[in-house]
Structures are given as C-alpha cells and as structure tokens.
Amino acid sequence: MSTEQQDVQVSTEGSILVITLNRPQARNAITLPVAQAIAAAVDELDGNDALAVGIITGADGVFCAGMDLKGFVDGELPQLPGRGFAGIVQAPPAKPLVAAVEGYALAGGFEIALACDLITAGRGARFGIPEVKRGLVAAGGALLRLPERIPPNVATQLALTGEFLDAPRAHELGLVNALVEDGKALDAALDLAAAIAVNGPLAVRASKRIIAEAPGWPREERWTRQEQITDPVFVSHDAIEGASAFAEKRPPNWRGE
C-alpha cells in the first residue's frame, strides 16, 4: 500500500463506507493525493450498489485542519477539476454522507463537513473558517453553505472574524445533528448511517437530491421539478416492495430499481 493510500483509509461496515483521513502528523490536512483518494472513495460509494451511506472522519481525534499549507506554499492545490477542494466540496456523492467530527474541523476541513448531509461531533470539537487570518478566503463552500445551515449573521461573524464555533453551540444552531462524548462521533455516525441504510435507496437518493437542489429552483417550477425526481421512484420496484413488505409485516428486500 502506498503512502498516499495510507493517508486515506477506506473500509466498510456492512453497507456503510467509512473514509478516514489518516495524516495525524499534519492534523489530517489535505494534500492533492488525499483529494484524489477521497474522490475515488466517493466514486466507490456512488458506484457500488452494495453501499448505501458514507461516513468521513479523521484519525487520532482530529477531523481535518484544512489545506496542507506547506504544500500550498510549494504550489500544490489539493483540488480536482469539477470536484473542487478535497475532491468533494463541489461534487458530493448522490448517496448520503455523514461527517464524524472530533477535535478540529477548520478551514477546508469544515468545508468537507459542510459538504456532508449530516454531522456528528464530540463535545470538544471545534469548527471554524479562519482563512481571513491567513489572508485567504473560505472558497471551498463555507461561504455558500454555512449561511444555509446556521443563521446568516452567525455565519457572517465566523467568516469575517475567523473565530471558532464549539460543538455544543453548533448543535444548538442545528449544524450538528448528534452531539456526543468525545471519541464517540464515529459511533454516532454509524448509528445514523445504519438508520438511513435500511430505507429504500431510490427514495433516499431522491430525497437528498430534492433537499439539495430545491433552494435554487424558481418558485413556479418547484412542484414540476420535484415530480421529475419523485415520479420514477413511485413507479419503481422498490415502491411496490416497500408497500408489500409493510402489509406483510416483513423487512423489505430493496433492489434499487
């Protein structure tokens, strides 16, 4: 196994794919090889019918400190065409993705978490976009996504001051879905992922897509655009199977079709 592969470890827990950033000596900062490995893992999640949900986390009690600044000074940008920073912020997977955050999720690390659908966090976790302190801009999605996830005035304060947001406050604001004791964020993420994975895969993906895309739809087109996504689900094998399983009081056998 190469060093680049060791820097991102990918494993499975049943139908759940777990992506672990594994550069603890650099607080799991993102390099170009790491971005490429994350992109490959996301492709595996979406392309493998046996996988239902993904989790991204960091090794040794730290989520991610963002871009590797040593690499940046040397001219390396850890972003991919069409995918953006870390190979994910511009192109999250179609399937659900949960961020399990311990320690720091800063700058691009926070933006990776914001590219996920759900976030679990240990109580000691801290979030922040301190780019302005370094003469940079949080261009990996935080300025776009954060005002949609927490009150815009709070997002503005974080962006302009570079201050940190602790996990309990992030949970109060609705950014963090599950606040747990330190060291338990991955367990909480696995629980969330398992609760998602038992549901119909077509329905889950359609629901995620609508939630993600609907804010940009013209108001007069919202119902039409939603129907374009939901109509195929209602006539799918899985829809019939879900109704039949409920009536027959048995677990459904999803086929994703």
Selecting among 76, 102, 131, 213, the annotated active-site residue is: 131
- CB count within 10 Å of CB 179 equals 19
**DSSP at 59:** S
**Closest residue by Cα to residue 30 from 72, 76, 77, 66:** 66
**Closest residue by Cα to residue 189 from 121, 248, 128:** 121
Please state, in angstroms and rounded to a whole number, the distance separating the CA atoms of residues 113 and 55.
10
13 given a catalytic annotation: no
**Closest residue by Cα to residue 132 from 98, 156, 148:** 156
* Residue 165 tokens, joined: 């947001």
**Closest residue by Cα to residue 96 from 212, 188, 180:** 212
Residue 112 in contact with residue 56, Cβ under 8 Å? Answer: yes
Is residue 152 packed enough to be buried (19+ CB in 10 Å), middle (13-18) or exposed (0-12)?
exposed
Report CA torsion sign: 196, 22, 40, 101.
Answer: positive
111 given a catalytic annotation: yes
Q: Which residue has the tokens 């470890």?
A: 9
Terminal C-alpha separation, the chain: 36
Selecting among 13, 44, 102, 111, the annotated active-site residue is: 111
Q: Which residues are catalytic?
A: 111, 131
